[in-house]
Amino acid sequence: MFIALALAASVPGEVNPGAMLRVQRSAPGNLEVGGELVGLPFGTTRYLRYEDLLQLPQETYTVNDDSNLPRNTVIRGVALTTLARLFGQSPDSALIVAICSDGYRTNYPRDYLAAHHPLLVLQINGKARAEWPQSGNGGRFGPYLISHPFFKPAFKVLSHEDEPQIPYGVTRIEFRRESRVFGAIRPVGKWPGDSPVMQGYIIARQDCFRCHDMGAEGGSMASVNWVQMAAIARSDSRRFRQIIRNPASVTPTAKMPGQPGYDDATLDALTAYFQTFSEARAESRPEP
């Protein structure tokens, strides 16, 4: 079974992306795709089968620096940029969103895709998904995880360094417009690129937005949305800063991971950024 799949995968024949986008789910392990799909109205959901994903052009890497995987793990799968090229509507829909079963959500903007070449992992150490261990890491990885050939941070803003975006438990991929997704949390008004507000925005966009939502965008893992976070930043900035650095010191049961490495300037920037959000922002959807 495995050999047959591997052989088929290593000889990618003609693929017909349109035919792979199934209307109905056929198995729990299908990958849901949505957003701007080629030839389909916005908001349509389709399903890609694991077996079909193996027919797409595969890439193989030995990974040594992914905190989810032991050193020297061989990953094989489809580049997210390949998925966007085959199933996305246009180069405009080049922001890729990976959504996990727990509401965690990773946004891969164009810059990130170009710098890091993330891969939708289909095989680990030559094993197809059905053979991944069901306990430990293997069990939580499914149905899909994302990794990189290697990761070298591509930017640094204050003490936030470009972080590897390596979600597991990915169930859905969307092809979106950067202006739409990031537009939801872009600060209103004109701010110089090096202002604390813009620096806070860049950090929040990669960090907080994975778990906290603004309207339809962003992760839903935390049950606290952007406007509620902003209200805390405005009413009690000390508490806000403490939550970011060490959530458990504010609420012992907090599940949110802390950022003990964020220095004061970084917390200032995040506070300044969130303080630009008013209650009114929640009502009026920003311009795309």
Positions touching ligand HEC (CB under 6 A) are: 204, 207-208, 210-212, 221-222, 224, 229, 232, 240, 243-244, 247, 250-251, 254-257, 270
d(CA 271, CA 72): 40
Least separation in angstroms between CB 278 and ligand HEC: 16
Least separation in angstroms between CB 270 and ligand HEC: 5
Q: 76 or 212: whose CB is closer to ligand HEC?
A: 212
Least separation in angstroms between CB 180 and ligand HEC: 21
Alpha-carbon Rg for the chain, nearest whole angstrom, is 20
d(CA 82, CA 16): 13
d(CA 7, CA 3): 6
Least separation in angstroms between CB 242 and ligand HEC: 9
Q: 45 or 225: whose CB is closer to ligand HEC?
A: 225
Q: 152 or 255: whose CB is closer to ligand HEC?
A: 255
Cα 287 to Cα 101, 110, 234, 280, distances in angstroms: 29, 20, 24, 14
Q: 148 or 160: whose CB is closer to ligand HEC?
A: 160
Single out the residue of 147, 84, 88 nearest to residue 120, CA to CA. 147
| Residue partners of 138: CB distance under 8 A and separation at least 6 | 124, 132
Structure tokens at 57: 């052009």
Q: 70 or 257: whose CB is closer to ligand HEC?
A: 257
Least separation in angstroms between CB 52 and ligand HEC: 31
Single out the residue of 136, 13, 17, 160 nearest to residue 84, CA to CA. 17
d(CA 261, CA 159): 7
d(CA 89, CA 179): 15
Least separation in angstroms between CB 200 and ligand HEC: 9
Q: 257 or 261: whose CB is closer to ligand HEC?
A: 257
